[in-house]
């Protein structure tokens, strides 16, 4: 029994020594993990709350678009960009606002909205904004700025349209050879087996591609034969 008590006392002494050496560190780790868990839960709540509030503002904006209320469209879009830029609703709202403003003849506001999406949007939304912004700049004869928006590599689903738009801008500049090359590249990309990550096998896909191919070919033919 005395031997058992001695072993037990030694174990207790070892535990005390271990705790003396590592106790503060362990307590710190536990505290850090607890804080991280609380912070993560708080962040998730914040994200859900932000998304819910942004959704309500977005619904207001959709109604304003249907009613063609330009002031409410601007206000709702501005609120989403200012307060809820991190949600998915902000770039969607800016794209909607840009379309509505362009249709209303307010190209200046439309360009501001599209520029924000081009700079802050993600992937397809960013590329769509760049494409639409380039079209507005082309209408304004701001050719160099339009080409800047079309620089770089867009996502696969926009590769054809970016080359098509480049051809339009270059043709407007009188750069026939470069425009021809852009249209030819667009046609070549249209013939690739996949665009935007999916096979183009449905009847709707084939019909859309055929119509688009014809449009591109007409643009190419309008440039005449290379000299």
Q: pLDDT tens for residues 36-49?
A: 565 555 545 545 67
What's the CA gap between 84 and 58, in Å, rounded? 10
Between CA 115 and CA 130 the distance in angstroms is 7
| pLDDT tens-digit series, residues 80-95 | 999 988 888 899 999 9
Whether 190 and 227 map to the same domain: the answer is: yes
Give strand pairing partners of 194: 199
The tens digit of pLDDT for each residue in 94-139 reads 999 999 999 999 999 999 999 999 999 888 999 999 999 999 999 9
Task: Specify if 128 maps to a domain.
Answer: yes
Q: What gap in Å lies between CA 63 and CA 79, rounded to an integer?
A: 15
Final residue of a domain: which of 141, 167, 192? 141
Residue ending a domain, choose from 141, 170, 201? 141
160 in the same domain as 132: no
If one counts the domains in the chain, the total is 2
Examine the pLDDT at 196 and tell me if it is beyond 50.
Answer: no
Q: Is residue 175 part of a domain?
A: yes
**Secondary structure tally for the chain: helices H, strands E:** 9, 2
Residue 156 DSSP code: G
Q: Could you list the residue range(s) of the whole structural domain that residue 85 is in?
A: 49-141
Distance between CA atoms of 135 and 147, rounded to whole angstroms?
Answer: 10
Say yes or no: 75 and 105 in one domain: yes
Distance between start and end Cα atoms, the chain: 108
């Amino acid at each position: 029994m005395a031997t058992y008590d001695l072993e037990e006392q030694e174990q207790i002494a070892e535990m005390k020594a271990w705790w003396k050496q590592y106790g503060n560190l362990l307590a710190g780790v536990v505290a850090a993990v607890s804080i991280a868990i609380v912070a993560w839960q708080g962040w998730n709540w914040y994200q859900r709350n932000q998304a819910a509030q942004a959704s309500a503002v977005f619904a207001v904006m959709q109604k304003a678009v249907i009613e063609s209320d330009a002031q409410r469209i601007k206000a709702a879009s501005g609120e989403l960009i200012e307060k809820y830029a991190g949600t998915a609703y902000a770039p969607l709202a800016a794209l909607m606002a840009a379309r509505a403003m362009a249709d209303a003849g307010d190209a200046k506001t439309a360009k501001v909205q599209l520029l924000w999406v081009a700079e802050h949007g993600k992937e397809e939304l960013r590329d769509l904004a760049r494409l639409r912004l380039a079209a507005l700049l082309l209408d304004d004869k701001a050719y160099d700025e339009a080409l800047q928006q079309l620089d770089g590599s867009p996502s696969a689903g926009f590769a054809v349209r970016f080359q098509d738009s480049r051809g339009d801008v270059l043709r407007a500049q009188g750069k026939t050879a470069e425009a021809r090359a852009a249209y030819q590249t667009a046609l070549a990309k249209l013939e690739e087996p996949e665009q935007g990550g999916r096979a183009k096998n449905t009847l709707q896909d084939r019909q859309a591609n055929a119509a688009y191919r014809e449009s591109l070919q007409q643009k190419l033919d309008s440039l005449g034969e290379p000299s």
